[in-house]
Amino acid sequence: MTPTTTPALEARDVARRFGRHWALAHLDLTVEPGESVLLAGPNGSGKTTFLRLAAGLYRATHGTLSVFGRDVRAERQTSRRFLSLVSHDAYLYPRLTALETVRVWARLLGRPARDADLMPLLDEVDLTAAGGQPVGGFSAGMRKRLTLLRSRLEGSRLVLLDEPFAALDVPGQKLVERWIAGFRRDGVAVVLASHSLEQAARLCDRAVVLHHGQKAWQGAAADVVSRFEEVTCRN
């Protein structure tokens, strides 16, 4: 199997329990290469849990997850090479500067790590002037921009975005929108969890609404705004 002939992400009867609480239950979801899917739902509905399961950060209590045909549990390292996760947690080293951070990422990924190669990347996220500053002093928006940059550097075929618009100003949000549009043009699959339904729906093909850890609705992304309240207020 190859990434061009298999789903980018496939979840079958996936469930995850934390203690006595089921964060997800009986979730089926398939995302094709080049498809952009919005995960919507109230706080605590399971959106972040699902993204972390897909990235191999959590293990499913039940069910199976695969990324381009690689089982996330049995082939965690291999499946991880196909994806990028941009989460709430930046996982940045506060004492490193922005440029040093990107240099470390580039070396770990086997990418060119010269300043001449890296500065244009910082410029793309409007962090050129802050390249020599320790990231521990960055605002939340600046940290988000730097974290988003890693998804570009990794060149993944599946990008998982958890609230990518949060903490960003309008130019930062427009940057994310352009990147998602670019991912779609390049055949990269995107799974986007967001409370910004109208903004996210414009960028996605399909939407899935989670409620109490279960799939409550799925359909065209253009319809999610009108259906969201009806679906999440049933119980």
Q: Count CB-CB contacts under 10 A for residue 19.
A: 5
Which residue segments constitute the domains of the chain, with CATH numbers given? 9-89+157-232 (3.40.50.300)
Lookup: tokens for 177? 């929108």
pLDDT at res. 230: 87
The span from the CA of 103 to the CA of 177, in Å, is: 25
CB environment 39-64: b (16+ within 10 A), e (fewer): bbbeeebbbbbbbbbbbbebebeebe
The reported pLDDT for the residue numbered 1 is 40
pTM for the full model?
Answer: 0.92
Lowest mean pLDDT among 85-94, 122-131, 177-186: 85-94
